[in-house]
Amino acid sequence: MATGLTTAPSAATATDITQRAADAVALYFAAHLPRLERHAADMARAIGAHAPGTLTASRIDDLIEPHAHGILDHPHEPVYGAGFIAAMDLLADAPSHLAWWQGNDRRKLVFPAQSVKQAIDYRELEWFRVPSTTGAAHVAGPYVDYLCSDEYTMTAAAPVVVDGTFVGVAGLDVLVDTVERRLTPSLRALGRPILLVNGVGRVLVSTDPRFASGDVVRSGRLEVVARQRCAAVDLDVVVAA
Amino acid sequence: MFTPIGDAGRAELVEKRLTDAITGGHLRAGDRLPSEADLARTMGVSPVTVREALLGLRSRGLVVTRRGRHGGSFVSDTADPLVFARDALRASSRLALRDLGAHYGALTMAGVRLAARRAAPPELVAMRARLARLDTDDPGPWRQSMDDLQLELVALSQSARITRDQMRLQAELSPLLRLIDVDPVQRGRQRALFERVLEAVEAGDEPAASEATERMVDETIHALDALHMAQDEI
């Protein structure tokens, strides 16, 4: 039993709850981000060993494949997809390229017939754009990833930099389904409905029955009792009245 | 993603998929095809099946194979999406085109409606800026850019299933739309209608977004129907 509390119990409890929720979320992403950044550094070394303008799509695939498998081989957390997405015109024989492996069978992503994916310009997509401009790792989502997984996804991406030049991002996909299953138990245990929202107010995980993953929480519609930013990811924990 | 075909002897299906990629402009003249091994692995067929399919594509002049250091299979320089689109239009019927339009319209309207409900306004601001930057004078990247934006919009519905269906239907319709894209007046019209859709979605106005989408699809199908009838007159 808590004793010696001098602040109003419900307000203090809400703040305490959001902090503990934020810690649980940060812990979850800490299982992914540092690993991803290490692979990004290794990819940079492998790419850097080639003279500029000499790398081909097939060579990059060979270089990246072991790293993709390394990222997918997480000891205790499911990872749906992983690989490297090249900066425009990095490769000698293609203006853009994804070296990506995904699914239970670790299929290599090969651009297919019946879809518009071949031509998608990924430069504007959040998981590519943010690391390319900020130089820092970023977690994007939840969103429907029609380029790689075709599922509702969170994508973590870290910039790959060779001699100060941005050459692409190292990425990993986790299904929102997975994040929801991994985080819901610890969030529910906190005893109050919680929302985990991203930078545009979109709910990633909710234990609040009024909101579901994918809903955008508009600030006007919500009375926020407590809010806490999670460490190392652009996600906020919110307790709503 | 390539969904696995399974079983040996499905060379015709592999051939069809690659043909669709080429006629749809997704694999362009001069593009290198994925390696036989990659195609086999991804489609879940044997390399022999892939080789059979490539033989078929070569005999139809869609693919050329080069040996040696920079060898591989490449989309033929003469592969022209417009030629294929005209053939596809001729092979189809007015009824089939209108039914495709009905299906596509229904799905796109549902996706856009959900997007109006679930999109965050900043997501639309970026899209509207890209639409504004689209050069209506250049038909080349036009279809790709419009398809991109349309898919991105439906993805804002937050529904993976609806987005997957949208991709499939877009792939069916998009090659035919190239025949309309050649007309700059049509491109300008499409841009104006799509701009209305984006505005409505940004405002969170579901009925307006739905109506604007229906208008856009109806005009597109009407234009294809007119083209089809004009073909019969030749």
pLDDT digits (tens, 9 = 90+) for A113-166: 434 555 677 898 999 999 999 999 999 999 999 999 999 999 999 999 999 999
Q: Flag whether B170 is in a domain.
A: yes
Q: Decide if pLDDT at A218 tops 90.
A: no
Q: How many CB atoms lie within 10 A of CB A1?
A: 2
Please indicate, yes or no, whether residues B168 and B227 belong to a single structural domain of this protein.
yes
**Last residue of a domain, which of B53, B79, B105?**
B79
Q: Decide if pLDDT at B114 tops 80.
A: yes
CA dihedral B133, B137, B143, B149 (to 10 degrees): 20
Amino acid letter for position B32: R
- pLDDT per position as a tens digit, A34-45: 999 999 999 999
Q: What is the pLDDT of residue B13?
A: 79
- Closest by CA to A173, choosing from A106, A112, A120, A88, is A106
Residue B169 has φ and ψ, to the nearest 5°, of -70, -35
Please indicate, yes or no, whether residues A36 and A16 belong to a single structural domain of this protein.
no
Cis peptide before A142 (omega within 30 of 0): yes
Q: What is the pLDDT of residue A7?
A: 45
What's B36's DSSP letter?
A: H
Cα distance from A212 to chain B (closest Cα, Å)? Answer: 11
Report the residue of chain A nearest B129, measured CA to CA.
Answer: A124
Least confident of A73-77, A97-101, B76-80, B178-182: B76-80
Please indicate, yes or no, whether residues B127 and B181 belong to a single structural domain of this protein.
yes
Q: Decide if pLDDT at A204 tops 90.
A: yes
Measured between CB atoms, which of B17, B163, B170 is closest to A113?
B17
Please indicate, yes or no, whether residues B119 and B149 belong to a single structural domain of this protein.
yes
Instruction: Give the separation between CA B194 and CA B152, rounded to whole angstroms.
Output: 13
Q: Flag whether B218 is in a domain.
A: yes
Interface test with A, best of B14, B17, B26 (most A CBs within 10 A): B26
Please indicate, yes or no, whether residues B136 and B227 belong to a single structural domain of this protein.
yes
Q: Is the pTM of this model over 0.95?
A: no
Residue found under tokens 């929202």: A197
CATH number of the domain encompassing residue A128: 3.30.450.20
Domain region containing B94: 82-232
Q: Does B151 touch chain A (CB under 8 A)?
A: yes
**Last residue of a domain, which of B79, B111, B134?**
B79
Cβ–Cβ < 8 Å for B158, B114: yes
Please indicate, yes or no, whether residues A98 and A146 belong to a single structural domain of this protein.
yes
Please indicate, yes or no, whether residues A118 and A48 belong to a single structural domain of this protein.
yes
Structure tokens at A79: 């990872």
CATH number of the domain encompassing residue B55: 1.10.10.10
Q: What is the pLDDT of residue A71?
A: 98
Model ipTM over 0.95: no
What confidence category does residue B65 fall into, taking pLDDT thresholds of 50, 70 and 90? Answer: confident
Please indicate, yes or no, whether residues A162 and A85 belong to a single structural domain of this protein.
yes
Residue A52 has φ and ψ, to the nearest 5°, of -55, 135
Instruction: Give the separation between CA B182 and CA B142, rounded to whole angstroms.
Output: 10
Instruction: Give the separation between CA A228 and CA A12, rounded to whole angstroms.
Output: 13
Measured between CB atoms, which of B38, B159, B168 is closest to A108?
B38
Q: Flag whether B2 is in a domain.
A: no
Q: Given its phi and psi angles, is residue A71 left (phi above 0), alpha (psi -120 to 50 degrees) or beta?
A: alpha
